[in-house]
Amino acid sequence: LGNGNEELLNNTALKAIAEKYHKTVPQVILRWHLQEGFVVIPKSVTPSRIEENFNVFDFELSEDEMNTVRSLDTGKRLFFDPKDPEWEEKMLNVV
Ligand SMILES: NC(=O)c1ccc[n+]([C@@H]2O[C@H](COP(=O)([O-])OP(=O)(O)OC[C@H]3O[C@@H](n4cnc5c(N)ncnc54)[C@H](OP(=O)(O)O)[C@@H]3O)[C@@H](O)[C@H]2O)c1
């Protein structure tokens, strides 16, 4: 979930898919990962979000939709990238 990245959670392509299935963007993201065969470990301290994040087994993304999500890959991580000097600098300044 990109550590709750707002740009990701407001992405218009993801929103359109979510609306079609009456789901949320995080649910579409989690479902996409599961259909790709990836392990997902979403983190939340919010009970309603924890429940929301489990509720992804009653819909299925089409191959077109899977491709739409695949096409969003920029090759960059949305949250801490240990190889990115900018992130390294940010992390050093946190402590
Ligand atoms: N990212 C990494 O590099 C990394 C590295 C090693 C281990 N991990 C572990 O992997 C797990 C995932 O961590 P992550 O940092 O990548 O976090 P994540 O799961 O991508 O995002 C967590 C953030 O998303 C919010 N969130 C969760 N579900 C949501 C929903 N349905 N709607 C809107 N916001 C939602 C959470 O808010 P609230 O908690 O406020 O609800 C939290 O701020 C954690 O257990 C972490 O320790 C991550």
Pocket-forming residues, ligand 1, beta carbon under 6 Å: 1-4, 9, 26, 41-46, 49, 52-53, 79-80
Atom of ligand 1 nearest to the CA of 27: 31
Closest atom of ligand 1 to CA, residue 3: 21
pLDDT tier at 95, thresholds 50, 70, 90: low
pTM: 0.90
Measure 40 CA to ligand 1 centroid, in angstroms.
Answer: 10
Could you report the per-residue pLDDT of 26-36, keeping only the tens digit for each? 999 999 999 99
Nearest residue by C-alpha to atom 21 in ligand 1 = 3
Q: 3-class secondary structure for the chain?
A: CHHHCHHHHCCHHHHHHHHHHCCCHHHHHHHHHHHHCCCCCCCCCCHHHHHHHHCCCCCCCCHHHHHHHHCCCCCCCCCCCCCCHHHHHHHHHHC
pLDDT for the residue 94 = 80
What mean pLDDT is predicted for residues 4-9? 92
Q: Which atom of ligand 1 is nearest to the CA of 53?
A: 31
Domain boundaries, the chain: 2-94
Angle among Cα 85, 76, 88 to the nearest 5 degrees reads 20
**45-85 tens-digit pLDDT:** 999 999 999 999 999 999 999 999 999 998 888 888 888 88
pLDDT at 89: 87
